[in-house]
Amino acid sequence: MLRYWRMLPLAAKRYILYHCMVTPLLFVWYIVPYLMLESGLSVAEAGIIFTVGSAINACLNFLVGRWLDRGSPNTIMAIISLIDGTSYLLYYLAFTTRNVIWVLAGAIVERIGFGLYPVYAVYEYGAYPGEIREKAYVYHNILPLSSQAISYPVIGYVLGVVSPTYETMLIGLLVVALLSFLYSLLPLRWLPRLEVTRPREKSRVRGAIPRSFYPVALALVLVSLSASIAPPLVLVNLFREVMGGGLFEVSLYEAIAALAVVVFSLPLLRVSKERGRYMVVLGLTLSCLSDITLVYTRTLALALLAAFLASAGYAIMDPFFMDILFSRIPEDKKGTLLGGIAGVRRIITIASPAIAGFLAEEFFPAAPYFLSAIAVVFSILLIIYATK
C-alpha cells in the first residue's frame, strides 16, 4: 500500500491529507437539511430553497473556468472555505430566528462556493502524476473516507443520541462555521502552491479535444444528475419518514459508505489502468443496484446495504473514471473544460433539489432514487461507447 504513496509528490500527499481534515466538517450537509425539516419546512419546500440557491449562481462555473487556467488554485480553495463559513453562519442565524429568508441566503452563499469546486480537479490535475494518477485517486478515496468513517459516527452519536436537541445542532453548525474560517489558512500556508502555466499559441493546435471526450463528459454529467436527484435532503427525509431515524442513523449510513470505499479501494492499487473501462462499468452497476435497494427499503439494515453497494461502486469506478476523463483533456484546456463540465452539471441539475423534494413529498420518500438509477444506466452505456 505504501509503495505508490512514496511515489507521490509532496503536493499530492498534503492535498489528500487536507481533505482528511476537511471531511468531518462535511457532516454539516446532513445537519442543515435535518434542521430545515425540524424547523417546520416540508421536504418539497426545502428542495425549492436549494434549487433557488443553485439558480442564482448557475453561470459561475463557466466564468471560473478561464480563471483556473491562469493562476494558482490555492487561493480559490481558501475562498471556498471562507464562503462555506459565511453560509453556515447564515444558516445558524436562520435556524435561530426561524426565518426562511436567512435560510435562502445561506443556500445561495453555499452554492456560490459549490460553483468554485472545479478548482479541486485542477489542483489534482497538476499534483497527481499522470503515470500513476489512478493510484493517487485510490489514496484520495481511502484516507479522507477513513476520516469520515471515524468522525461521522462520533458526530452523529453526539447530535443524535447524547443530546438530540435543536439547540445542540445549532451549536454544531456554529462550530463548523468557525472551523471553516480557520481552515482557509491551509491552502495558503500549508499546501504547496501550484501555478498553472500558460500554454504557447501553437500548443492550442496540438491540444485538440478528442471526440471521445464528449461521451465521457456526458456520462460524468449523468452521474452528477444521479447524485443531485437524491441529495442529502432526500436521505435525511427517507430516514425520518420511513425508518424513524435521526442524525445518528444517517451517520452510520455514511460510515458504512466510507468503509466500503476504503475496503474496495485497496485492491485497486494492483489493477492496471488498461482495465479501467471494466472497473467503471462495474462500479456504476453497483451504484444502480444501490438506488434500487433504497427504493424498496423499509429497514435500517437494507439502507446500510445500499450504502455499502453505492460506495463499493464509487470506489471501484472513481479512480478509473477520472483517469479516462483526464486522459482526454489537452493540457492547455484543462481549466476551461473542467470548469465547463462543472457548469453544465450545475445547470442540468439546477432543478434537481426541487424535483427531488416534490417526488419525495407527492409520491414516496424514496422516489428520487428511481430516477437516479435510470441516469446511472445511461451513463454506463456512454462509457461503453466511449471506450470501445
Q: Where are the alpha helices (DSSP H) in the chain?
A: 2-7, 10-22, 28-38, 43-56, 60-70, 73-97, 100-115, 118-127, 133-157, 166-183, 185-189, 203-206, 213-228, 232-238, 247-265, 276-296, 300-326, 334-348, 352-362, 367-386
pLDDT at position 72: 75
242 touches 301 (CB < 8 A): no
Query: Interhelix angle for 133-157 vs 10-22, to 10°?
Result: 20
Supply the pTM of this predicted model. Answer: 0.82
Dihedrals phi, psi of 102, to nearest 5 degrees? -70, -30
pLDDT at position 129: 85
List per-residue pLDDT tens for the chain, 388 residues long: 577 788 899 999 999 999 999 999 999 999 999 999 998 899 999 999 988 887 776 655 555 555 555 657 898 899 899 999 999 999 999 999 999 999 999 998 888 888 778 788 888 888 888 778 778 888 888 899 999 999 999 999 999 999 989 999 999 999 999 999 999 999 999 999 876 554 444 444 455 676 777 888 888 888 888 888 888 999 999 998 888 778 999 999 999 999 988 888 777 667 776 777 888 899 999 999 999 999 988 888 999 999 999 989 988 887 788 778 877 777 667 667 776 777 777 777 788 889 999 999 999 899 999 999 999 999 999 888 888 7
Superfamily designation of domain 7-193+209-386:
MFS general substrate transporter like domains (1.20.1250.20)
